[in-house]
Amino acid sequence: MSVIDIARAWRDQDPDEETRAELDRLVADAEAGSAASLTELHDRFDSRLEFGTAGLRGRIEAGSNRMNRVLIAQAAVGFARFLLARGGTPSVVIGYDGRINSKVFATDTAELMAGAGVRAILLPRLLPTPVLAFAVRELAVSAGVMVTASHNPPADNGYKVYLGDADGGSQIVPPMDGEIAAHILAVAADQNVLQLPRVTAYEIADERVIDAYVRRTATIAGHPKSAVRYVYTAMHGVGWETAHRVFIAAGFGEPVVVAAQIAPDAAFPTVAFPNPEEPGAMDLAFDTAITADAELVIANDPDADRLAIGIPDVDGEWQRLSGNQVGALLGWRAAERLAAAGTTGTLAASIVSSPALAEVARQYGLTYVDTLTGFKWVSRVPGLSYGYEEAIGYLVDPDKVRDKDGISAAVEFLALVADLKAAGRTVIDHLTDFAERFGAFASSQVSIRVTDAADIPRLMSALRQSPPDQIGAVAVQAVDDFAGGFAGLPASDILRYRLDDGSRVIVRPSGTEPKVKVYIDASSVEGTAAYRQTTAQATVDRLETAMRALLAEST
């Protein structure tokens, strides 16, 4: 079949008028001789969005390589068949955020999974991803689906999958992703989605599941020891309603909100990219904090599974703490809590996160575990007490949720600030205390974007074939290649360079974008806290310059 024939066949099973019209225009233009339209059709139909451990994520448009109602229907029925093949009487809870078509995709999923014979429960309205992850455990269902693209660009949407029962509400990992993908492909090959059975009598979850999430989350931090003046932004996402209820229930009082960003808005009009980590994304929140004379800024990403923290420095200028800084402080707090209770536990972080958490675990006599990148791995660590990854994801209450949770983490950080304030200390002071006790840890990340996706495996292959003897002026002591599995971790396209001065550099392809990521970490235990921080940062800066030069040569 030609790509035009494939596009027509897709259009004929598409229940969405807008995406059908898209294909009609592209097909007509291609038949009229438009090379651009023909190229666009090939881009949309020569491949399809691959269902992986992160589910599906892509631009909302017509075609097998885009997010749309046809693709969602195939995914929903494929996932239903996977659950049915496991035996028993499967059930699923489905949530959705405020992005374009999120409710439509969630409703299609509920109807089609019910039609396939799976008990389907739809959350009552748009809600954060952590509420859906909580509902998988709270409702004791077989699986969960969250329709969200998290902090992706406005034109994207996504489909995240969780498994209950023995998987405890965690995201899927291999080989389950491949098994689900095979069922989806079988549906796509054999079924017209308009002919798939639908049942509109699916269940709507009771408000009690949301009430239970609020109640459980509010109790994490105990009673606040002091009042904190804080600003909250939802980054145009769905975090505010739930986070607000939690903050009030936890005793932190009303935050000052970033009014322009507090309501869900799929256009994300005030930010170039709806990710609190992006430069400028928190500018409105910092302006609000200055006006309100606040002590803390709390920012959730659009589906509220991530948390960013802003604080004033000693000169009164506002700064965003890195994911590693927040992760280390929350890990220290978790270790203190375990010590106070006289219990042991396990701290975990992805391998690209700072080594600081491992040092906390060592000094408190706790188990520490490195995982591959992605919270699907962190959340599955046995006996987990606390876990994080540097991409501003934190899990402070593993018994409640088995995924990163930006609202729970916000409550825990609020409680930390309240405790510090009661003791006459600030977050800046606490970071200094950390450096004095555990050493100073500095980190940096370099992203090398490529225009041709084939450049990524070429770059990784070049680094494997000609590994550097030194990075900058520092000799490479060892190279750990995770391609065949390493240190008990599954195989992954990751290279780790351990250097003579104790610093390290990690290189891996991005899982969601056409770029290679480099993670650089260094530490120091010599001299005062200020000297340690300066020394560690200077080492990271030198290594970053050297890695940029090395990758430029390799590409």
> How far is CA 487 from each of CA 292, 367, 369, 481, 497, rounded to the nearest angstrom?
49, 16, 11, 10, 14
What pairing do the DSSP bridges indicate for beta strands 318-320 and 170-171? unpaired
Q: Summarize the confidence of residues 252-267 as an average pLDDT.
A: 98
The encoded tokens of residue 75 equal: 């995914």
Q: How far apart are CA 69 and CA 120, in angstroms?
A: 18
Round to whole Å and give the CA distance between 78 and 113: 9
Instruction: Compute CA distances 85 → 171, 394, 474, 504, whole Å.
Output: 19, 33, 54, 44
Residue 72 CB coordination number (10 Å):
25
Joined tokens for residue 186 = 């079988």
- pLDDT grade, residue 541 (50/70/90)? very high
Kindly indicate the confidence band of residue 1, based on its pLDDT and cuts at 50, 70 and 90.
confident
Q: Quick one: tokens of 164? A: 């209950």
Which position has the higher pLDDT, 315 or 87?
87
Beta-strand pair 143-147/91-96: parallel
Amino acid, res. 300:
N
Percentage of residues in the chain having pLDDT higher than 70: 99
Fold of 439-554: TATA-Binding Protein (3.30.310)
Topology agreement, domain 228-436 and domain 439-554: no
Q: Evaluate whether 140 touches 168 at the Cβ level (below 8 Å).
A: no
Could you tell me if 91 and 143 are in contact, meaning their C-beta atoms sit under 8 angstroms apart?
A: yes
The predicted structure's pLDDT at residue 512: 64
Least confident segment among 109-113, 519-523, 536-540, 551-555: 551-555
Q: What integer is the mean pLDDT of 133-139?
A: 98
What 3-state DSSP class applies to 147? Answer: strand
Q: Is the peptide bond prior to 175 cis by the omega test (within 30 degrees of 0)?
A: yes
* Chain segment 397-450, per-residue pLDDT in tens: 999 999 999 999 999 999 999 999 999 999 999 999 999 999 999 999 988 888
Superfamily of domain 49-206: Alpha-D-Glucose-1,6-Bisphosphate, subunit A, domain 3 (3.40.120.10)
What are the structural domain ranges in the chain?
A: 1-46, 49-206, 228-436, 439-554
Q: Give Cα separations from 255 to 92, 218, 317, 340, 487 (angstroms).
A: 35, 15, 20, 30, 45
Retrieve residue 463's tokens.
């680094």
- Mean pLDDT on 512-523: 88
What mean pLDDT do residues 313-341 have? 96
pLDDT tens digit string along 397-407? 999 999 999 99
Q: Identify how many contiguous H helices and E strands the chain contains and give both numbers.
A: 17, 22
Confidence of residue 314 (pLDDT cuts 50, 70, 90): confident
DSSP string, 460-492: HHHHHHS--SEETTEEEEEEEEGGG-BTTBPP-
Find the helix or strand (DSSP H, E) in which 92 lies: strand 91-96
pLDDT tens-digit readout, 173-183: 999 999 999 99
Report whether pLDDT(54) > 90.
Answer: no
Residue 137 has a pLDDT of: 97
The fold of the 228-436 domain, in CATH, is Alpha-D-Glucose-1,6-Bisphosphate; Chain A, domain 3 (3.40.120)
Per-residue pLDDT band at 301 (split at 50, 70, 90) = very high
Residue 447, pLDDT score: 86
- What average pLDDT does this structure show over 510-524? 87
pLDDT of residue 202: 98
- Tokens 């590409």 sit at which residue? 555
- pLDDT one-digit tens code per residue, 338-386: 999 999 999 999 999 999 999 999 999 999 999 999 999 999 999 999 9
pTM over 0.75? The answer is yes
Task: Report helix, strand and coil shares of the chain as percent, to nearest 5.
Answer: 40, 20, 35
What integer is the mean pLDDT of 37-47?
Answer: 97
Active-site residues, by number, are 150
- Stretch among 85-94, 146-155, 403-412, 452-461 having the lowest mean pLDDT: 452-461
Q: What is the pLDDT of residue 510?
A: 81
The reported pLDDT for the residue numbered 155 is 96
Find the length of the chain: 555
Please give the Cα distance from 458 to 219 (Å, whole number).
50
Label residue 555 by pLDDT band (50, 70, 90).
low
What pLDDT was estimated at residue 315? 84
